[in-house]
Chain A
Amino acid sequence: MLASVMVIADAESPGPLKKRPRLSLKVQKNNESKDVKVGKEETDQGGEKGKEVFEEENDVIERDLNKEENSKSVVPAAASLENLGNTCFLNSVLQVLRYTPGFLPGLELLYQEIIQVEKLRKQDVLNKEDAGVFEPLESNKSIHLVKDLYRLYKNMEQREENHEEKATSDVMSMAVKPQKLLNIIRELNPMFEGYLQHDAQELLRCVLSYLQDSEKDLFNIKKNVLEKLPNKEVPKNVIMDRFLSKCARLKSENQPQNVFHQPDILDQIEQSEAAKTSITQTTTPVEADTACLAQEEVFKMENVPNSKLRTTRTPRGKKQSEEQKSNQKTKQALKQNTPRSRKGCDEPDGTTESKGVECNGRRKNTETGTSEVSDSGTGEEKMETDCGDNKTVNGKVNGESGKKDKNGKQQTILGMFQNQKAGKRLGMSRTILRNSTAKSGAACQTSDGLVNGHCRDEPGLGKTEDVVKCKSAPALANGVVSGSPSKNQSSPRKPVVKLEKCDRVCNSPLKSVSAQLATQKLSPCKSGSSPSKGSPRDAKQRLDFVVTSENKVLNSINLKAIKTNFIEDLFLGKMMLRTKCCECENCRERIEDFHDISVPVRVEKTEESDDEEKEEDSDSCLRKLMFAFTEVERLRDDNKYFCDTCLSHVEAERSLHYQGLPNILTLHLKRFSTSSGMFGYVSKINDHVSIPLSLPCLRYKCPSPCSRPDHRYLLYAIITHAGVTLTSGHYLSYVHVPSNQVQGRESPRHFLSTPTRRYPGQWLECDDETVRVHDEESFLGMLQGEEGSLMGTPYVLFYHRNTPVSTWSV
């Protein structure tokens, strides 16, 4: 295997490399010293000593390099993997996985999810202040594996992107070292320790099952974290959260514009930004409840919280407006809201009902104008100042436990603000809103404090909070019976500043959690809510916006929908085991999952097989082998079957049928057998098996021939093995590069952009560090053994559904 390290992609791999003018010196340091040449840049691959030794020398050589451009000798623009000592079994599998349709997007999702959960947990731990319990996710090895695997692929991707600068004629120039991944795999399964050759198929199974484990573990961890959260963080507003997260994203990605593809939405964003300004404001547990939306039903849901929020807000708003002599419009708006709030109250939800009562009371207040305002007014004013303190504290005390709480509240407020927006669409003009909000801004801020005091019993906010608490008490007393929603005249007063704050908030993973929680909790209300007419569209738009911009984040937020199980989605199939009693002919059927199909290379000749079949040529076709695999097994002689109907031991036929086939069909040719020869000696069957580029439908329920295109399979990768035994020899893989048309469009991010661009529809021969490009025709020739042949004998075959990834049902 090590020998292959030295093999360099030279004339043998002409590939369709395009000649491009190269500006960097590095690129030109190619042709002459082909054997061992390592560019400096490669050192980032993690100080390989051997390489470094050469470095100086190389530098010298490079200077003298023939500047003449010879792109032929440059290795193809496809990242390869370094052999770390008999690790070709690993490399071949990694390459195949990389080119497996749907694998990289799934991995990325999972990775994002891990990052999310990690943040979450950090928050959670900080909150609890018992960091001793904190156990980093990293300690979960399978999760660790995901991260390493993701980074490795990222690395490969980068390498490819920078191909022009980096690639030389030396194969190492495009090689990535999977050292970390190998380490973690070895940790997970000590079997892979040492420098022995291992079975690529076993490794594949291991890696996939670890990935599955990590999905499961992650899900559980997340669930745990989420379970803990509700108690501490009840008051959360999903919508707010979403917005916050969105904002965060916008900021962080520096690409707000392209996210908003609808002008309307832009408008909304403005508002939302305004809303963000109000972040400092408050909410109540109830609101958090009401605020949750299922994505699809945002608008419906929103109405409910809207109305509620507004109702809750109304008295306060009224007071404020009275206090501050706000204009009549605000009043009107408020009035408008109030009836709506009643509507919302019709909801069966208990909390809402109580609110409804409150609302009514408050509405009265609004209409009549309240005298009680005075006390609260003073209180509020004071609170406002306190709030200011709060904010500053907020800004400073990043790591403090108090922060999180505030964040949560702020988020809720944002959510409310969203609602306000909706409300605005319904009737209020923006300006009015602004007015009112601006005026109430102070109050809002106070209310933040209020909420803090109100909702939090835990210590940790420090002085400011104490003050707030004191202040909030009167506010609470003030007509706001439930104490819950006395606030939220959020105002877009200082958008910019607040936005920053938002960002910070958004960055904390908390929001997503709470959002999710809320969604889960509140989903029942959805049905009961009475959507008002104007808002749905609005909400919908907003939703769109949220969805598009936040696709990933949202996905990772949604607990239920998101239990990522892309491994299962890609690789899991179902087969049915049917046992038929030969006496009464009743059938027992059992359905089993499978990840790959092991295909015996040699069909055992049963005595029942027909004479003609025996004379069949030894060049077995894969299809025949597969059918042989599904052939009936007879339970007889001493191995009779106990039939429940006959109550007796009878002969029976056991047969396998494919019921549901996976999106990625893995065929494992059973080339290694212990049966022949001595004990413990694993011999290899080198029989030629002709491999078709496409497989017909295998489902037993389908008529033959099955005409459904999505039941057909196309070959996209092969792992081959050259050598005589399991523990010796060399693995390499052949992968099919998807053509642009097929895959390019679908995924939002293209993970294989470089190879796809350069070698669409061609086959790559990944032999550790070396990658050679074959066009489809010559590959086919190799496959059929016509011109040249594959290196090694096909061992594991990978087929994907004959339909685009996007259409694969999960």
Chain B
Amino acid sequence: MSSLGRGSVGQGKKKVQISFIIRDEVEKYNRSGVNAIQHDPDLKRLYSAGRDSIIRIWDTRTKKDPYLKSMEHHIDWVNDIVLCCRGRIMLSASSDSTIKVWNAHEGTCMATLRPHRDYVKCLAYAKDVEVVASAGLDKTIYLWDVEELAALTSTNNNVKESKVHEKSSIYSLAINPPGTILACGSTEKAVGVYSVGVMDTRGPQDIMRLKGHTDNVRALVLNRDGTQCLSGSSDGTIRLWSLGQQRCVATYRVHDDSVWALQANESFTTVYSGGRDRRVWATDLLNPDYRTLICEEKSPILKLELVKGDTDYDSMWVATTDSTIKNWSLKNIQKRLSGEYDNENIKPVYTQPNSTIKGGSSIRQYHVLNDKCHILTKDTENNVALWNVLSARLIENLGKVSFEEEIKKRFKMVHVPHWFTVDLKIGLLTIHLDESDVFSAWVSSIRDLGINPPSEWEDCKINLGQQLLRALFEHWPKSHMYENQDGMREMADPLLFSVPEHTPILINTCDDGHGRAHFHPFLCRDADKETQQKCLNEEVPSWAAEVLAHKNMSQTVTKIAFFLLQYPNSGIKTAPKDRLSASDMIQVRKVIEHVYEKVLRQGVENGHQSGESGDHEKEAQDISKLAAEKVELLCNDQVLDANMDLRTVKHFIWKQSGDLTLHYRLLNR
């Protein structure tokens, strides 16, 4: 159970998944690693693109509570962001294979571009011409005119795109400010260079391949006039390429491990680099012997963002796989460049950052408890927490306790079939509901699940998936009113429980063979908004719509076949071996009653035809009591608890395939 769930890598035809995220209404802190950062020098804002799918805006002037706003529209890692048009427009690239256009000042999503067919890994921005390039694992580079993107509306949604195909997955991209030269780094281990003529309708022209790296190229920087290129690679080196000569003019081996982030000053004399070895170096490009260890982070470095001071860059934001973003001073770096060779004994120039934007914790491990309703999780700070899937809420924060101990402690001998999958890729619990198994879990009582249902539901069988779907779509008008067979409109049954209104819900459609996903995210409470309703009417898959809008819950309860035999030792005459069948949720108590009534009292019944036919209910209760006193059931020689249901018996006690065999035994009291 503690295995990590698979995400929604789609295959096959038209598969629709409904997912939701269990989270706080406002997620103020980065939950996971930060893939990209952008600094707006005018507003002194910092934008961070997190693996938690949220782009957050921070005020760099206040150190206490810098959080300003979240931009939440992606549903997977945000891999890169660029700030365009003097900070007005932001473009973001995500592993959900979309590019989104944002009004950066407002923090609202203006448009979503879906040309990519795989994760979009990187963006590059040509400031002078307001052109953005995007590329990713689909090996394709697209060029976008930002002004045009900013003008997109729901009616005007034509975009001119120009694209280039690479041979392998692209992990890095750079374009020079005038937008004439484009460089991309890929698992091909080479840097592809394109010339981009603004007036050229043919699109970017492949002009050279720069070979030399022995591993993936993860970071690229071009100088202003597009004559030089810096590349950082997983082979641990930084290379300086002369595009005129089409060759590598220098190799810098300052890192002990992969280089993942590069920045250069405008005059292209100093390169700042960070990588898997967690160190940030400044290296003099002309004289590679002169280099400085600026700082040492605690996690691998994903991105560097230089902040311009009065004259030159005077500080730098560093994003790592950890959720905290730090700002490091770059003052006096130039003077400290030294010719030391030994990487081991070098002390970083700065040990304390200028400022820190604190991050939160992300969930790293989960365990679905046997009731298939509660989930135990452990996060990056080793806090253990208990969540309830049905109510989509955190139940309890258990603090820093042993995860394994808690799992053991909360073990319950019940068996409920799987009906959802869990995903932790964004550092929060994401629950996926799939058509194939969402309705597989029936329970006879949800009281044990921490939910107090209305009294009339006390004894009803409940399908967990159905009830959860109803709760998720609580605000969708269609789910309140449904048409019965006569075409009459009826009110739906009351909800058993509800989920927090801020819960993000996602309808994820993999509708073609390319694994290309269409997704439709919305908040639970927004389902009644006009536009949302319209979308939902189209998007909600039929399997969900049926239980929501038509209440056509198929009552097909899984049956379990079993044999009921006399316990070998008891002295009762053996009944013929019948293969019985019952709902797999039926409790042992009921079987005991059955035994008592049908098997044991058979003879007696004939004698005195139940004289007091009046109080049936009471009689039933009596029988139940009597039965429990007189009979007990065994499976594999183990006496069964009357409250256990048959599937639990089969799963935990019978433990084998083939029909369950139960034995009954008379109690002599």
Contact = CB atoms under 8 A, between A and B. Distances in A.
A binds B: yes
Contacts of B10: 638
B4 A647 contact: yes
B7 A648 contact: yes
Contacts of A610: 211
Nearest to B188: A608
A642 B5 CA distance: 9
Contact of A582 (B11, B118, B169, B424): B169
A636 B51 CA distance: 19
A85 B398 CA distance: 75
Contacts of B4: 642, 644, 647
Interface string A632-658: 001011101010101111010100000
A34 B167 CA distance: 65
Contacts of B95: 648
A526 to B, nearest CB: 43
Most chain B beta-carbon contacts within 10 A, residue among A636, A642, A647: A647
B425 A646 contact: yes
Given A585-B234, A585-B276, A647-B424, A637 B168 contact: no
A648 B258 contact: no
A651 B118 CA distance: 11
Given A582-B169, A582-B171, A608-B188, A649 B9 contact: yes
Contacts of A638: 9-11, 515
B321 interface: yes
B358 interface: no
Contacts of A642: 4, 6-7
Size category of the binding interface on chain A = 10 to 19
A647 B364 contact: yes
Nearest to B321: A584
Contacts of B11: 638
Contacts of A608: 167-168, 187-188
B181 to A, nearest CB: 22
A653 B188 CA distance: 12
A782 to B, nearest CB: 40
A647 B187 contact: no
A643 to B, nearest CB: 10
Dominant secondary structure of chain B at its interface with chain A? loop
B425 A607 contact: no
A651 B169 contact: yes
A634 B168 CA distance: 10
A582 B321 contact: no
B137 interface: yes
Contacts of B171: 582
Contacts of A648: 7, 51, 76-77, 95, 425
Interface in B296-318: 300
Interface string B261-284: 000000000000000100000000
A649 B51 CA distance: 13
Contacts of A585: 234, 257-258, 276
A636 B424 contact: no
Contacts of B361: none
A582 B515 contact: no
A437 to B, nearest CB: 65
Interface in A703-733: none
Dominant secondary structure of chain A at its interface with chain B? loop
B340 to A, nearest CB: 27
Given A637-B118, A638-B515, A582 B258 contact: no
Nearest to A638: B515
B94 interface: no
Size category of the binding interface on chain B = 20 to 34
Given A646-B425, A647-B4, A651-B137, A637 B188 contact: no
Contacts of A646: 425
Interface in B361-406: 364
B216 interface: yes
Contacts of A649: 6-7, 9, 425
Nearest to B216: A582
Interface in B211-229: 211, 216
Contact of A647 (B169, B216, B276, B425): B425
Given A608-B188, A648-B77, A640 B9 contact: yes
A637 B187 contact: no
Nearest to A639: B9
Interface string A599-636: 00000000110100000000000000000000000101
Contact of B167 (A607, A636, A637, A644): A607
A651 B169 CA distance: 9
A651 B216 CA distance: 12
Interface in B157-189: 167-169, 171, 187-188
Interface string B592-609: 000000000000000000
Contacts of A647: 4, 364, 424-425, 427
Contacts of B9: 638, 640, 649
Most chain B beta-carbon contacts within 10 A, residue among A585, A642, A653: A585
Contacts of A653: 187
A397 B11 CA distance: 77
Contacts of B76: 648
Contacts of B321: 584
A646 B168 CA distance: 21
Contacts of A644: 4
A44 B59 CA distance: 99
Nearest to A653: B187
Nearest to B190: A610
Contacts of B118: 636-637
B187 A634 contact: yes
A652 to B, nearest CB: 11
B208 to A, nearest CB: 13
A651 B138 CA distance: 11
B222 to A, nearest CB: 23
A644 B11 CA distance: 22
Most chain A beta-carbon contacts within 10 A, residue among B76, B168, B300: B168
Nearest to A634: B187
Contacts of A584: 300, 321
Contacts of B211: 610
B469 to A, nearest CB: 26
Given A582-B169, A607-B168, A651 B425 contact: no
Contacts of B276: 585
A582 to B, nearest CB: 6
Interface string A494-529: 000000000000000000000000000000000000
A293 to B, nearest CB: 48
A608 B4 CA distance: 32
A640 B257 CA distance: 24
Nearest to B32: A647
A648 B167 CA distance: 24
Contacts of B187: 582, 608, 634, 651, 653
Interface string A279-302: 000000000000000000000000
Contacts of B515: 637-638
A213 to B, nearest CB: 30
A636 B169 contact: yes
B74 to A, nearest CB: 13
Nearest to A632: B187
Nearest to B79: A583
A644 B424 CA distance: 10
Nearest to B171: A582
A700 to B, nearest CB: 14
A649 B76 CA distance: 11
Give the top 4 A-B pairs by smallest Cβ distance, nearest first: A648-B425, A647-B424, A638-B515, A607-B167
Given A582-B187, A637-B515, A638-B515, 6 more contacts: A585-B258, A607-B168, A636-B137, A642-B6, A646-B425, A649-B7
25 contacts: A582-B187, A585-B234, A585-B257, A585-B258, A607-B167, A608-B167, A608-B168, A634-B168, A634-B169, A636-B137, A636-B169, A637-B137, A637-B515, A638-B11, A638-B515, A642-B6, A644-B4, A647-B364, A647-B427, A648-B7, A648-B51, A648-B95, A649-B9, A649-B425, A651-B187
